[in-house]
Amino acid sequence: MSLLLLLLLGLLTLILCVLRGRKRRAGEPPLIKGWIPFIGKALEFGHDAHTFLEEHKKKFGDIFTVRIAGKYMTFIMDPLLYPNVIKHGRQLDFHEFANKVSPGTFGYPPVISVKFPGMQEQIKRSFQLLQGDNLSTLTESMMGNLMLVFRQDHLCDGPREEGGWRSGSMYEFCNSVMFEATFLTMYGRPQAASRHGGMGVLREDFVRFDNMFPLLIAQMPIWLLGQTKAIREKLINYFLPHRMSCWSDTSQFIRMRSELLDQYDTLRDVDKAAHHFAILWASVGNTVPASFWVMYYLVSHPDALQVVRQELHDALRLAGVEFSQDRDVTLGKDQLEKLVYLESAINESLRLSSASMNIRVVQEDFSLRLDGECSVAVRKGDVIALYPQSMHMDPEIYKEPQSFRLDRFIQDGTMKTDFYKDGQKLKYYLMPFGSGSSMCPGRYFAVNEIKQFLCLLLLYFDLQLDEDQSRVSLDNSRAGLGILLPATDVRFRYRLQV
Ligand code: HEM
Ligand SMILES: *[C@@H]1O[C@H](CO)[C@@H](O)[C@H](O)[C@H]1NC(C)=O
Ligand SMILES: *[C@@H]1O[C@H](CO)[C@@H](O)[C@H](O)[C@H]1NC(C)=O
């Protein structure tokens, strides 16, 4: 997050609230306030959350409270203690936080409110349509849409360089394919066409909104963010009911959500549209960068890429599928589940690129039991935070944590699940999708669609990075909010395999 804006944010909080200090009470974790009253440690945290937390851990131990932009946040750094936080569903609530932050970000009225009885529960129920048996239809639809976009945009004739190579920017490539295919799978297509017009503009607007996302989540008022309000309105208007009703092949998930929103007379059309827009963000905001990282790590590790490609060909042969370039490929849920090397590549890429913070708001003063005899006192209204990136980058758990290893999550040809800290087996060792009651309901779909995307890439194309590019680094401006974007795009070449 930009320092200047964080500063502004801190000052705002300062103006809006009364300066109130607080003293550490018996049983509470070390309290670190920072040298600027109120803005506290926000500046340092926003600049590089991972380093900030590691340094505090060295000084203050595994549990400490920091005042960040006016909020008291208690970080639990030891992953062996994670289960104790995650299981406290009642006293440590996620949805209070989401209900406070999402409306200002996406522009709909708070869901948990007397105006909308039962809405929260119904929304929760709709998530079942992303999982279990219901996932098969969605996955099938995604396959068709990916194939469509690949065929029309990348498998067709077009300008080529010598040897049949085409050049591209990798992030741009992933974004254009995954954004549109996911959009079509979720919301459907226009009745008279297989693709929506204006997808490029929608995507550009989305990127501009997404750049402001960290500030909106930090509850910066949208009117301070220049064009953002107008861009958000434009994005929301895309989903107005009279437009959506003209689309066909809409997923059951989105149809169910439209129906449930229609039950509330107190919701205006723009409010309903804003809910649909929020789902667009949830379904592509992390999936696109995640797809990028998997593609990037595989293309920059040709040996790993070859192993995954071989696994894919073996799986197709086993399923009796003869691959040929002019026939559409179908890879269903069951076939995708067998691709363990590809899954390990995905998990390893998520480990390296995810920086989501798990947040719980303390519902009452209580003593949070940690391990054995040890517990800490926490106060109502405070925030308990887990920062799994610290675990993902812990050299004791993951040897050489900075490097990509294809078989990181494989042991004897199947999935590896034993990872250790201080000689103890970890219950949680990979948490790109959050935890407990707030865990991402789209995670199975996300992994499947990323697999499908990579399968198509590996089946159809030879892929190479352009030479003379330095290693891509992470852009930390979204630290705490999910999968980080690359700091720069990467040039690559692709050509049809012969
Ligand atoms: C690699 C891709 C993805 C990642 C890394 C990811 C990650 C996350 C995370 C970290 C959360 C918050 C959990 C927490 O704070 O504890 C979340 C929530 C959510 N995700 Fe995902 N997600 C991904 C893809 C998707 C997709 C494809 C969909 C939908 C089709 C989706 C739908 C949602 C929804 C609806 C929520 C809010 C859940 C709630 O309010 O309880 N996500 N996701
Ligand atoms: C599929 O979704 C429906 C509707 O939400 C739900 O009743 C059913 O249990 C879901 N099936 C699975 C296997 O999750
Ligand atoms: C990858 O991670 C997911 C959780 O994010 C897990 O369910 C799955 O089993 C993992 N697969 C492998 C091969 O580690």
> Does one domain contain both 292 and 314?
yes
Condensed to tens digits (0 to 9), the pLDDT of residues 253-297 reads 999 999 999 999 999 999 999 999 999 999 999 999 999 999 999
> Does one domain contain both 245 and 388?
no
Which ligand neighbours the alpha carbon of 407 most closely? 3
Counting from 1 in the atom list of ligand 3, the atom nearest the Cα of 430 is 5
Distance 316 CA to ligand 3 centre (A): 22
Evaluate: CB of 134 within 6 angstroms of ligand 2. yes
Evaluate: CB of 409 within 6 angstroms of ligand 3. yes
Evaluate: CB of 130 within 6 angstroms of ligand 1. yes
Whole-number pLDDT of residue 145: 97
d(CA 410, CA 416): 5
> Does one domain contain both 24 and 139?
no
Give the residue-averaged pLDDT of 27-53.
Answer: 75
Which ligand neighbours the alpha carbon of 434 most closely? 1
18 confidence band (pLDDT: 50, 70, 90): very low
Is 151 within a domain? yes
**Helix crossing, 170-187 with 252-262: angle to 10°?**
60
Is 204 within a domain? yes
Q: Which two tokens stand for residue 366?
A: 């209580």
> Does one domain contain both 344 and 282?
yes
Residues at the binding site are 286, 440
Evaluate: CB of 430 within 6 angstroms of ligand 3. yes
pLDDT at 477 over 90: no
Condensed to tens digits (0 to 9), the pLDDT of residues 194-227 reads 999 999 999 999 999 999 998 888 778 899 899 9
Looking at 342, 368, 403, which one is the last position of a domain?
403
Instruction: Give the domain extent around 271.
Output: 120-352+429-496
d(CA 95, CA 77): 22
Distance 25 CA to ligand 2 centre (A): 47
Condensed to tens digits (0 to 9), the pLDDT of residues 377-410 reads 999 999 999 999 999 999 999 999 999 999 999 9
d(CA 466, CA 490): 8
Closest C-alpha residue for ligand 2 atom 7: 128
> Does one domain contain both 270 and 172?
yes
Is 396 within a domain? yes
Strand partners, 386: 358
Distance 442 CA to ligand 1 centre (A): 6
4 confidence band (pLDDT: 50, 70, 90): low
- Contacts of residue 264, defined as CB under 8 A and 6 or more positions apart, other chains included, come to 115, 116, 119
How much is the mean pLDDT over the chain? 90
Condensed to tens digits (0 to 9), the pLDDT of residues 158-177 reads 767 778 899 999 999 999 99
Which of 135, 311, 347, 445 has most ligand 3 atoms within 8 Å of CB, for mutation? Answer: 347
Evaluate: CB of 228 within 6 angstroms of ligand 1. no
> Does one domain contain both 258 and 322?
yes
> Does one domain contain both 157 and 228?
yes
Is 424 within a domain? no
Counting from 1 in the atom list of ligand 2, the atom nearest the Cα of 129 is 2
Is 414 within a domain? no
Q: Which two tokens stand for residue 380?
A: 């109502």
Evaluate: CB of 418 within 6 angstroms of ligand 2. no
Distance 129 CA to ligand 1 centre (A): 14
Counting from 1 in the atom list of ligand 1, the atom nearest the Cα of 186 is 30
Is 236 within a domain? yes
Distance 24 CA to ligand 1 centre (A): 35
> Does one domain contain both 88 and 54?
yes
Is 440 within a domain? yes
Identify the three-state secondary structure at position 36.
Answer: coil
At residue 59's C-alpha, the angle toward residues 55 and 60, to 5°, is 110
d(CA 239, CA 230): 15
Distance of CA 259 to the CA centre of its chain: 26
Is 422 within a domain? no
Whole-number pLDDT of residue 457: 97
Half-sphere exposure of 297 (CA within 13 A, CB side): 25
> Which alpha helices (DSSP H) does 61-127 contain, by range?
82-86, 95-106, 119-126
| 20 touches 33 (CB < 8 A) | no
Strand partners, 32: 66
> Does one domain contain both 336 and 370?
no
What is the chain's length? 498
| For the chain, the helix, strand and coil percentages under 3-state DSSP, each to the nearest 5 | 50, 15, 35
> Does one domain contain both 182 and 45?
no
Identify the three-state secondary structure at position 331.
Answer: coil
Q: Indicate left, alpha or beta for 251 from its phi (over 0: left) and psi (-120 to 50: alpha).
A: beta
- Contacts of residue 435, defined as CB under 8 A and 6 or more positions apart, other chains included, come to 82, 86, 358, 386, 428
Counting from 1 in the atom list of ligand 3, the atom nearest the Cα of 431 is 5
Side chain identity, residue 372: G
> Does one domain contain both 365 and 327?
no
Closest C-alpha residue for ligand 3 atom 14: 409
Evaluate: CB of 121 within 6 angstroms of ligand 2. no
CATH code assigned at 129: 1.10.630.10
Condensed to tens digits (0 to 9), the pLDDT of residues 325-355 reads 888 888 888 889 999 999 999 999 999 999 9
Look at the chain and report how many structural domains it folds into: 2
> Does one domain contain both 473 and 394?
no
Radius of gyration over alpha carbons of the chain, in Å? 23
